[in-house]
Structure 1
Amino acid sequence: MLNVINNLSLSKKVILICALCSTLPVAAIATLSNFTLDHTALLILLTLFLSILLSKVLTKSIKQGMQSLETGLLNFKDGELSSLLAYKNNDELGKLCQLYNQTAKQLRQEKQWIYQRELMLDKVLQSSPQALLLVNDNNIVVFSNLISRSLFNSITRLEGMQLGKLLSTSPLQLKTAVEHGVDGLFNIEIENQDSQTWHLATGEFLLNNQKHHLYIFKQLTRELSRQEVAVWKKVIRIISHELNNSLGPMSSMLHSAQLLANKVDEPRLARVFATIDERISHLTEFVQGYGKFAKLPQPHKTRVNWQNTLNNLKNHWQFSYEIKNSHHELQADQAQLEQLLINLLKNAHESGSNITEIHIQVECVTQACVINVSDCGKGMSEQVMANALVPFYSTKSTGSGLGLALCREIAEAHQGHISLHNKIEGGLNVQISLPYS
């Protein structure tokens, strides 16, 4: 009996209490007044009916308020915060419903603020130059950004994939670094491309009471290249300074010696002085070339007209060219761009290739302008290709080792990059990618 009463709703308990409180006194009064049994029963039933009817009327607002609060709390449970309660009676339940509406409004504003922050955070993470990978305790990828798809050679979203399956199609060095799970540097060797240097940072944290692993991959190839070039430039400036300090006095002393030699009838002195003068001139030109590399100015960008640029180059070099999608406009330093192409054309002509097979292709794709300078010469060995972009490195007896290094410096000054590839049919293809912005 007690369990049945406990399971009743609050409004029914109130009705039951009202019924008992009204019928018990009536029954006691009827018994003391010596009413007949029929009259007593009739009086009790009438009192019970009136008390139930009256209590229902009085508890109707309570029932409505309780139902409103129940509906509102169910909405909270479902994450719905836009619905407000219509119960507005001036009683305790009315105040509770008013407090509920105020709380729902505040929570809705906070939810919208959190949603906007999540949108901003997602935008930042998706456009981040660092590859991000979030994996739960079951080794399932729950978040990744756009660049991580490129890192893991995937054209589809990584979310929902098993980490082991994802690593099975990834470069071996990347797989090893993730499996070790230790912060540090690693190199990725890609066929027909330069080696890439990456840094892996890892972390663990709880999300929804489940342990998650965060992997952050940052590519350091360009940064290391910049540091390498900066070191070379410093070395070149020091060497140029020391050489210039010696060449100036040597040239002055040579001029004085030639004036004195004119008074002596000795033809061998003239040949000696001529040789010294020629070597000083060559060394001066050599130092000036290195100085040009070490002091490359910031690009002064203007709109590039590829038709005019390539036609101007054809006045001095023999090659064929092709321009695709020229409606995209590239902003670049005209002088530096021409110097880059001149260096590549010079190398192509010295590669042993037939001049009719030296070709420049300019293709303006969605995000960058891609320039391919190709020949059908001897190509490059792996060792030469690995060092070809390093300053001072040259396989030519008269080379300075600055041609391709200067090309790389110009490309990177335009926020682009340069890569070398041996062609299957023989020869070399140099690819430069220059972004529009």
Structure 2
Amino acid sequence: MPKQRSIESNIARLSLISNLILMGLLIISLLVSDISQWLILLIGVLSSLLVLWTTQQIKQRLTYQSKSQANLLEALICGDYSLRARRFPNDHGVSPLTNTINQLAERLSKQRWQSVESQLLVQTILEHIDIAILALDKHHCITLYNPAAEHLFGQSISHAQASLPKSLHIAKSLKCGAREVIELKVHDQLTKFSLQVEQYKDSGQTNKLLLISNVHTILRTEQQHAWQHLIRVISHEINNSLSPISSISQTLCKVIGKQPPYPQQNQLISSLQLIEKRASGLGTFIEGYQQIAKLPDPTLAPCVLSSLLKKCTTLFPDIRSDISPSCNITLNIDVIQFEQVLINVFKNACEATPTETQTHIDIHCYQTPKKIHITLTDNGLGVNNAENLFVPFYSTKAQGSGIGLVLCRQIIEAHQGRLSLENNPSRTGCILTIELPLQSSMS
């Protein structure tokens, strides 16, 4: 294939031909005229030199502008928007194209910086937002996994790649913009999450964006506030009625006791004393429920867990407890509230153990990257209705008030922790687990 001339060479060639034709006509005119041959020769030489020089200048400038524009366009294609084309002064023929290319480079450079800043903003939001965000491609593989998702599910993207897509299979059937409350097993516990599905395009492919937020804590908080409000209202109304009942019963007992003896006097006094006693008992009962509504914020202080456990076990001489050496750690907790939790747990363990069997509790501690876990395992009969364990006023015991475990969970959650109770899968009994954030541990 013959080598093609560049556009600069063609323009220079055309310029040279036209100038040579004009110069030839000039020389012919001079020859026809009565002019010295030496003068004609001199004019021809000077004209030839001038033609060659102008042709060379035209080619040089065109070549420079063409290569500059080609290099600039190539740089733009490669993503380098820092280069600019230089133009010659008074070069009005090529300047508009050069200026346009320079403006294009300036515009693309500005758009690139805006894109980089937007990406940094999105990246910052993804890293600091407390909503777990996952992106799934058409093969249902995770392509985006922000730190909130890693914290929520407690596993890196490599481990989540194998398990999470199967757990989130419901996302396949949800349309863009749909929202659903789902249950996922996280840290060996079923937890409720709000799942919202959106769509976005990446390289022409439509992918799904999953926004997952833990509504378990929100629902728990709202439920707790509702119970606290209910307890405050009920306590207020009942106390308003109990106070005059108790006071009038005492007054009537004194008045009747000062009267001369008459039939049924003792029976009447006994009945009034029973009314006063039951009113006082009901008042004490209501005060127990008010603990849930008036639980103060924890006052944190260093405490050796093993010492606190030994102190609590002395209150229950019938319990045989095995405290692991792993419990010899210092926690930053509210000692009084935490002691109340342990006392309630030991009391429930005793009540859940058959009378012919001695209560036995194994206590262990272990640490994960972000939490301290305290497990208490008893040898009782286990739980029958685990769904209602933490419902206020619910109790499976005849004399139970239904506030013990609720109060325990509220105390642990006030320490930014979590309390769970489940049946022991290996033998009879229950396993109560207290999870505290790692910053609670001081050693």
Q: Give yes or no for TM over 0.5.
A: yes
Kindly report which structure 2 residues correspond to 1:21-170, keeping only aligned pairs within 5 A, or say none.
21-30=18-27, 33=31, 51-52=51-52, 54-81=54-81, 83-85=82-84, 87=86, 90=89, 92=91, 108=109, 111-112=112-113, 114-135=115-136, 141-148=142-149, 155-157=156-158, 169-170=166-167
Q: Number of aligned pairs?
A: 415
Select between 395-404 and 355-364 the one with higher mean Cα deviation: 355-364
Shift of 1:198: 2.5
| Mapping 1:256-295, distance limit 5 Å | 256-263=251-258, 264=261, 267-269=266-268, 271-295=270-294
1:117–1:283 CA distance, 2 compared to 1 (3 A) = same
What is the CA distance between 1:371 and its match in structure 2? 2.3
| C-alpha spacing 1:315/1:111, structure 2 compared with 1 (3 Å) | farther
Q: Separation in 1 of the partners of 2:392 and 2:237?
A: 19
Partner of 2:365: 362
Aligned residue number for residue 432 of structure 1: 434
Distance, in Å, in 2 between the alignment partners of 1:136 and 1:45 is 76
Q: Deviations over 1:140-189 (max 9, x none)?
A: 65433345468889743599x7xxx977632xxx4235413372433326
Task: Single out whichever of 318-327 and 420-429 deviates more from structure 2.
Answer: 318-327
2: distance between equivalents of 1:392 and 1:89? 90
Shift in alpha-carbon separation, 1:325–1:398, aligned structure 2, 3 A? closer
C-alpha RMSD over aligned residues: 4.1
Larger deviation, residues 294-303 vs 225-234: 294-303
Q: Partner of 2:174 in structure 1? A: 180
- In structure 2, relative to structure 1, the CA distance for the partners of 1:16 and 1:379 (3 Å cut) is same
3-state SS of 2:324 partner: strand
Contact 1:375 1:428 in 2 (8 A): yes
Contact 1:185 1:197 in 2 (8 A): no
The sequence identity of aligned pairs, in percent, is 26
Shift of residue 422 of structure 1?
Answer: 1.5
Where 1:350 maps in the other structure, the secondary structure is helix
**Mind listing any 5+ residue stretches in structure 1 that lack a counterpart?**
35-42
Q: Structure 2-normalised TM-score?
A: 0.77
Q: 1:149–1:434: structure 2 CA closer, same or farther, 3 Å change rule?
A: closer
State how far apart, in whole Å, the 2-side matches of 1:330 and 1:20 are.
97
More moved, 134-143 vs 305-314: 134-143
How far has the Cα of 1:358 moved from its partner? 1.1
- Please give the alpha-carbon distance, in whole angstroms, between the structure 2 residues aligned to 1:333 and 1:21: 101
Match of 1:17, as an amino acid?
A: L
Name structure 2 gaps, 5 residues minimum.
Answer: 33-42
1:287 and 1:109 map into 2 onto residues whose CA distance is: 69
- 1:18 Cα deviation (Å)? 2.2
Measured against aligned partners, the alpha-carbon deviations of 1:371-394 in whole angstroms (never above 9, x if no partner) come to 22221211112xx11110111110
Q: Which amino acid aligns with 2:295?
A: L
How do 1:205-354 and structure 2 match up within 5 A? 205-206=200-201, 210-263=205-258, 264=261, 267-269=266-268, 271-317=270-316, 319-322=321-324, 324=326, 330-352=331-353
TM-score (structure 1 length as normaliser): 0.78
Structure 1, residues 176-215: CA drift from partner, whole Å, max 9, x if none? 3541337243332649955432223233455555544333
In structure 2, how many angstroms separate the alpha carbons of the residues matched to 1:323 and 1:72? 72
Match of 1:201 in 2: 196
Match of 2:13 in 1: 16
The question of whether the paired residues in 2 share the 8 Å contact of 1:194 and 1:386 is answered with no
Secondary structure of residue in 2 paired with 1:224: helix
CA deviation profile, 1:315-355 (whole Å, cap 9, x unmatched): 4345333364977x754433322222222222122221766
Does structure 2 conserve the Cα–Cα contact (< 8 Å) formed by 1:240 and 1:287?
yes
Partner Cα separation in structure 1 for residue 106 and residue 190 of structure 2: 55
The residue that corresponds to 2:416 in the other structure is: 415
Deviations 1:20-77 (A, max 9, x none): 122112333455648xxxxxxxx99997787456533454344234323322221221
Residues 69, 166 of structure 1: CA spacing in aligned structure 2 closer, same or farther, 3 A cutoff? farther
SS in 2 for 1:357: strand
Distance 1:356 1:335, change over 3 A: same
